Amino acid sequence: MSVKTKAGYVAIIGKPNVGKSTLMNATIGAKLSIVTPKPQTTRKRVLGIYTQENVQIIFLDTPGILAPKYKMQSAMMDYVSSSIDEADCIIYMLDVTKYKPQHAVTENVKNILNKIYLANKKIICLLNKLDLLKDVKEVLPIIAEINSLKLFADIIPISALKENNTQNIIKTITNYLPDAKFYYDAEMLSTQPERFFVSEIIRENIFYMYGDEIPYSTEVNIIEFKERNYGKWYINSEIIIEKTSQKSIIIGKNGDKLKALMERSRSAIEEHLQTGVYLEVFVKVRPKWRDNTTFLKSFGY
């Protein structure tokens, strides 16, 4: 007799920097989404696959919900919308450390959640960063306010960083998944190509190494990605920036800053790929690329 399996898509949504990527990485047990302390780190949808026994959950990590100011951010919000449309179940994450009475859910987010609710999709609310509260009782008024909205099938306080209560999330999601065959092989963790993860690793290090202006106006484009049976793999990449003045910041005095970025990125890429790599990084200026449809398409938006 065949074992009944459950499988489905789960979109993780919420405002920027609430811990969506940290949650997916913790649940999958691998670093698929880059994580930095800065908001808007995630720009594209990242797919992560959780498979255990008779359950397969395909997580869709999405960019933080915001009001778009340029075409790149509009494309980011399109990822959120398409992920919601594809999902069987939705996770809405909220940062409990930023709670303000009567403002736990903003109007634009509430509108999105209402549409999901009216589409008869279950929404699980995760109250994240519980570990940062001085007293866990501080979460009680948040639960009461969230519950009063009558939009959520479940409300679960968690700490994604500390992996606190993450197994409870899996059990809860499983309740709302349809009976279905697995969509992917049980060994798969993601469908993204390796060159995507390489570009994200470089971009993550840009977020860590440079001030606020640089990361948000930067894109990383992989020009060549050559796997070799013998010797190091070859990766040729471009850091795209908007202004000529930003180029000297990226490169640094005598190229020291760029060399440090390359070394840090190469080490992380080798750890991810489990092989040696020869990494080349060039800096290119593309004025206003975030508002240029042609550039955005070429960068995969």
Q: What percentage of the chain carries pLDDT values higher than 70?
A: 99
Quote the pLDDT of residue 108: 87
pLDDT of residue 105: 83
How would residue 2 be classed by pLDDT, with cut points 50, 70 and 90?
low
- Please say whether the beta carbons of 33 and 153 come within 8 A: no
What CATH number labels 194-298?
Answer: 3.30.300.20
Architecture of domain 6-175: 3-Layer(aba) Sandwich (3.40)
Q: What are the φ and ψ backbone dihedral angles of 121, each rounded to 5 degrees?
A: -100, 135
pTM strictly above 0.85: yes
Of 60-64, 104-108, 165-169, 174-178, the range with the lowest mean pLDDT is 104-108
Residue 10, pLDDT above cutoff 70: yes
What is the C-alpha radius of gyration for the chain, rounded to an integer number of angstroms? 20
Give the pLDDT mean for 22-51.
Answer: 93
Q: Are 17 and 63 contacting, i.e. CB atoms less than 8 angstroms apart?
A: no
Instruction: Give the residue from 65, 68, 62, 66 showing the smallest Cα distance to 82.
Output: 62
The encoded tokens of residue 191 equal 């469908």
Q: Residues with Cβ < 8 Å from 283, sequence gap 6 or more?
A: 238, 239, 241, 247, 250, 251, 258
- Tokens, residue 230: 């013998």
- How confident is the model at residue 263, as a pLDDT? 97
Q: Which two tokens stand for residue 64?
A: 């933080």
Residue with tokens 């898509």: 9
User: pLDDT digits over 129-180, tens only?
Assistant: 999 998 888 999 999 999 999 999 999 999 999 988 888 999 999 999 999 9
- Do the Cβ atoms of 124 and 172 come closer than 8 Å? yes
Domain ranges (residues) in the chain = 6-175, 194-298
